[in-house]
Amino acid sequence: MFIRRKAGRRIRAIIPLLISAIVVYAIIAGTVMTKGQADEQAQKMTYENIRRAAVQCYALEGVYPVSIDYLIDHYGIRPDTQRFVIHYQFIAENLLPDIAVIPINR
């Protein structure tokens, strides 16, 4: 009987530690998932801002810009080049350029 009481006390002592470990794991996992979602959202917004500026340029000037630098200089976009590689390929004056925003893995 004494052995069962000792085992029961050990189990009761371990349960709070297990619960604490689960809570800490859940917090860390939630933080990692939230950061990933924020990165995806920033990538999407960067793409949309570049695309929107290119379309606005076409609407105002009648041609799509030849380079991303033109959009930066004349349309005020500020892509985060520390986090993303911007692929901008001019096709023709009347065709939307090929735009891609690629995250830099660190």
**CA 31 → CA 24, 25, 34, 39, distances in Å?**
11, 10, 5, 12
User: What are the structure tokens assigned to 101, written together?
Assistant: 């925003």
The pTM score is: 0.69
In the prediction, which pLDDT does 30 show? 72
User: What are the structure tokens assigned to 73, written together?
Assistant: 């200089």
In the prediction, which pLDDT does 86 show? 95
Q: How confident is the model at residue 37 (pLDDT cuts 50, 70, 90)?
A: confident
51 touches 99 (CB < 8 A): yes
Which residue did the predictor score with more confidence, 72 or 33? 72
Q: Which of 17-21, 30-34, 66-70 is modeled with the greatest confidence?
A: 66-70
**CA 85 → CA 68, 79, 88, 89, distances in Å?**
12, 9, 10, 13
In the prediction, which pLDDT does 6 show? 61
User: What are the structure tokens assigned to 11, written together?
Assistant: 């189990």
In the prediction, which pLDDT does 34 show? 75
Q: How confident is the model at residue 7 (pLDDT cuts 50, 70, 90)?
A: low
Torsion of CA 26, 29, 33, 36, to 10 degrees: 160
User: What does the domain layout of the chain look like in residue ranges?
Assistant: 2-103
